[in-house]
Chains A and B, each alone.
Chain A
Amino acid sequence: MLNTLAIIILSLMGASLIYVLYRTIDGRPVERRIVFAYIGLAVMLPLMMKVTPPLPITTDVQKLYEHIVKLPPGSKVLCAFDFDPPSAPELQPMAVAFVKYAFKHDLKLIIMGLWPQGPQQANMALQEAFRDSLVAVKPHEEGIDWVNLGFQSGNEFVILSMGDGFKRMFPRDTRLIPYDSIPILKNVVNFSNIDFIMNFGAGYPGTREWVQIGVDRYKSDLGAGTTAVQATEVYPYLSSGQLVGLLGGMSGAAEFEKVLAEKGKASTFILAQMFGHATVMAFVIIGNVAFFVLGRKKKNPEGNN
């Protein structure tokens, strides 16, 4: 019933945009609160519809996937959680999908964060992964299959110091267990002992800093999941090969879930994303149509050609 109601309201909203167009051309643009209401409904109603539109896999996501599947079981992956709750709708689904994949394929996760909230977001991703029945088949012990080293202040200086030795910046994990006592970190001195770095970044410090120091200085392989705002800025690193692959924004997260065959939140959010975009595009078109029509009216005030 919710599905039907949502479709009816969305259809009425679409039809009412004609009235918005009429008013705007008439020189009486609608109040901004009306625009807010359209956007709010356009995002809210599709969430009730439980429809997942088909999504093609882009080359950026495919490249990352092809790199990850080549990692043999037992590979040590450094997972950098560099985001906070506002970026979680985009990045948390990617992180959860990656963590689930890692546990199912016996990749060892070394988690840390350059953002204070990162390790807590990592804990949430771990808990969600442990609830997956395919992950829960085999126990994943802290210290053996994964470890959370926590947050350290210093931004890119943390990455620089890690090049010398991880222990310098992370002498203990989040449970205050000394670095040398953690089994997964045995023989892990610096980046040369890591098989892959996966960064989930929302800004500064984030993917750019990992490329600058982790890749260009310490020659590591880096894959990145970023917010959509950040994604446009890191595309040059993808085309130059400094990044092995890129997940950009929520659509990147949805594609990643699809390519890993994981059920996740990003896939369910894509329909709402579509309607949100459609609404913004509709308002831009309305504004520009009115701009041109009103501009013509000013040039020919009496309708003369």
Chain B
Amino acid sequence: MRREVPVLITSIAGLVFAISYFIPHTPFGRAESIFGDWVSIVQAFAIWLGVLNLLKVSLEKIFRKSEGWPYSYLIIASLFGTLIVGFYSGFSGINATPQYTYSDTGTGFDWVYQNIYTALTSTMFSMLAFFVGSASYRAFRARNIQATLLLISGFLVMGGRVPLLDRISSIFTETPIFSNLANWIMNYPNSAGQRAILIGIALGIMSSSLRVILGIERSHVGGGN
């Protein structure tokens, strides 16, 4: 029963969405709307599961004095700090007249978002610029024809999408040759390759979705085929 019930749930949910594509009327359309609402709410609880799990793992780390355990105090402190500010902003807004939202400009939560969250997330991702440069220097080699094609295509796009190569070619001609070439590469050869990938993905997803709905694929319920 621990596996059969989830497989049945998977099949019913999958069939509702698949059939309602063709028959959008009651009962399938109505079932699709209800299930769509459920997905939305379940996702919110899934996020809270993640947050509570983070709390559990951090507390375990502190309790067991695992490697890096002092930083877990910081994780918990910043988590609770954000939650307190967020709940205070949210419930204050709900009880105010007129009402305002937790993320409105001027709330504590918005301050945390603008000054702490934005700084941290943006900087974490911006470090990739350094790593992509370093990796290109160390590893990007035109070892064969395919790699050379990749390199040339990358260069033309990098140099053409900003007015870099056009500034150099402007010595000879006013026409933005490299910008036009980069545009052509993106709209035609790139589109061709991406389209082949998209079609391949579509076929793969169709077959794996069918396997999931028919109960052949059961890895998500803890079993094999």
Chain A residues proximal to chain B, CB less than 8 Å: 29, 32, 35-36, 38-40, 43, 53-56, 58-60, 84-86, 88-89, 117, 119-120, 123, 127, 150, 152-155, 157-158, 160-161, 164, 168-169, 174-177, 217, 231-233, 235-236, 238-239, 248-249, 251, 270, 273-274, 276-281, 283-284, 286-288, 291
Contact = CB atoms under 8 A, between A and B. Distances in A.
Interface string B111-148: 00100011001101110011011101111111100000
A269 B139 CA distance: 28
Contacts of A232: 186, 190, 194
Interface string B41-78: 10110010000000000000000000000000000000
Nearest to B140: A284
A123 B101 CA distance: 12
A287 B40 CA distance: 49
Interface in B131-187: 132-134, 136-143, 151, 155, 158-159, 161-164, 166-167, 176, 179-180, 183, 186-187
A207 to B, nearest CB: 13
Q: Which of A39, A89, A152, A238 has the most CB of B within 10 A?
A: A39
Contacts of B36: 154, 157-158, 160-161, 168-169
B9 interface: no
Contact of A236 (B32, B118, B162, B195): B195
Contacts of B44: 153
Interface residues of B, number: 64
Contact of A251 (B142, B151, B161): B161
A38 B133 contact: yes
B12 interface: no
B209 interface: no
B43 A174 contact: no
Interface string B95-115: 000111101110000100100
Contacts of B141: 287-288, 291
A161 B81 CA distance: 35
A174 B143 CA distance: 55
B138 A287 contact: yes
A151 to B, nearest CB: 9
B216 interface: no
B39 interface: yes
Given A43-B129, A127-B105, A150-B101, A235 B137 contact: no
B164 A278 contact: yes
Nearest to B184: A59
B208 interface: no
Contacts of B94: 176
A56 B187 contact: no
B176 A56 contact: yes
Given A53-B167, A236-B191, A287-B136, A86 B179 contact: no
A39 B124 CA distance: 16
11 contacts: A58-B179, A59-B183, A153-B43, A168-B37, A169-B36, A169-B40, A238-B191, A249-B161, A277-B159, A278-B164, A287-B138
A59 B136 contact: no
A36 B98 CA distance: 50
Contacts of A288: 140-142, 151
A235 B37 contact: no
Contact of B122 (A35, A85, A119): A85
Contacts of B215: none
Given A56-B176, A169-B40, A39 B129 contact: yes
Contacts of B167: 53, 274
B83 interface: no
Nearest to A282: B137
Contact of A35 (B110, B134, B183): B134
B163 A29 contact: no
A120 B110 contact: yes
Contacts of A152: 40
Given A54-B163, A85-B122, A283-B133, A176 B37 contact: no
